[in-house]
Each structure stands twice: as structure tokens, then as C-alpha cells.
Amino acid sequence: MEVDIEQSWNSLLKDEFEKPYFKELVRFVRAEYTANTCYPKGQLIFNAFNQCPVEKTKVVIIGQDPYHGENQANGLCFSVNDGIAHPPSLQNIFKELMNDLNISYPLSGNLEPWAAQGVLLLNATLTVRAHQAGSHQNKGWETFTDDVISRLSDKRTNLIFLLWGGFARKKVKLIDTSKHKILSSGHPSPLSANRGYWFGNKHFSKTNSLLEQADQTPIDWKLT
């Protein structure tokens, strides 16, 4: 079936789009968007892929669900649209960014500049009903995004996977650790961060060090 997704991802995933579970997922999502308010906007469901082609991907950050508040989600995990207040997890990401790299706290929570440099900001579930966290889980998205991770692991080398929290760390089974690097820590949510499992992980500087070791251009993590 035809899916509106960036060409390199379409080439990598086109056989997945023909599987029965994915066709059923599409039917579910279309019905949900028709009957309810859902996020992100329809044209942004595959934004993580459209912003970061396969061959440009260097770093993968795995989230769980899109934000379910009005006008928050923009299809990139942990990211919000310009002008939107930063959710608690994103605040803690930026606090660690400040401490790790000695840079200013960003004004915008839009992480598109990261995606443009090769950071795939992938949620495990790509859609959600407004104000109902987890409402589109176990409908097929996780099967799809697990396949994305597996195929990236198979087709690429020297990727860096940032696995934040128990949910993301379970994805390690999909990654060939002989070909790729993994950095894991607690989740940036207040519950985890305030217990000491997030702050001080220095994942941003560590990622750049690993990229440089692999003769790749480091990420400019600074946002405006």
C-alpha cells in the first residue's frame, strides 16, 4: 500500500507496509483520526522519518508515545512545536544538555535541528488520542517501529542508540551490538530523574565522542 514517507525509508520498509497487521493499523488510525482528535497532525505521523533519511541517520533516540496535549506533538519523540511549553521530560533533557555541554537552556522545544543532522527521534507508537496517554498502544505501531530498529541495525553500521528508561532499554534485543553502540540510562521523566537515574549520564558529549571515533561529524546539540 502507498504510505507517505521519505523515499529511502519507503524503499527499506515497503514490504512491511503490505503486511496484514500494518493494513489493519492504517484502518485503525484512519478511523481514530476521523472520530476523535488525535496527535500529531496526520501529515506529521511519519515526521521522524521524513526529517531524517536512512543514509543520514547516525543517532537513534527511542521514545514511547507522542505527547497528547493540544498542539504539542510534532512527530519527533520528546519534541514539541515552537512556542509550546516544554513538558517535564524535555525540561530534564535540556537540563542535562546544559550541564553536559555547558550551553544555554533552549528557548524552543522543537528538536528538528537534531533530526536534520541525523538524529532519528523515534516514538514506539506514532499516534495517540488527545488527552489519553497510551490510547494507540498495542494496535500495531510497536511491531512496525521494532521492525524499523531491526532493519536499521541490519542495514547500517556505527549507529548510536540512546536508550532512556526501561521501555527503551528493552529494544536492545533488536540491535546488533557488534556493529552499533548503545548508551543507556534512566528516563528523563521527573520520577526517574529525581531518583538519580538521569542526570549526569553525559549522553550528548559521549555520543559526539563516539561519532568522532567513527570519523563522523558530531551533532551540534545546541538549540536556539
Instruction: Report the distance separating Cα 84 and Cα 107, nearest Å.
Output: 10
Instruction: Report the distance separating Cα 82 and Cα 170, nearest Å.
Output: 31
Identify the residue whose cell numbers are 532519528. Answer: 120
Q: Which one from 4, 65, 176, 220 is the annotated catalytic residue?
A: 65
- β-pairing verdict for 128-129 and 38-39: antiparallel
How would you classify residue 102: left for phi > 0, otherwise alpha for psi between -120 and 50, otherwise beta?
left
Q: How far apart are the first and last CA of the chain?
A: 39
Residue 65 bears catalytic tag: yes
Contact 124, 165 (CB under 8 A): no
Q: Known catalytic residues? A: 65
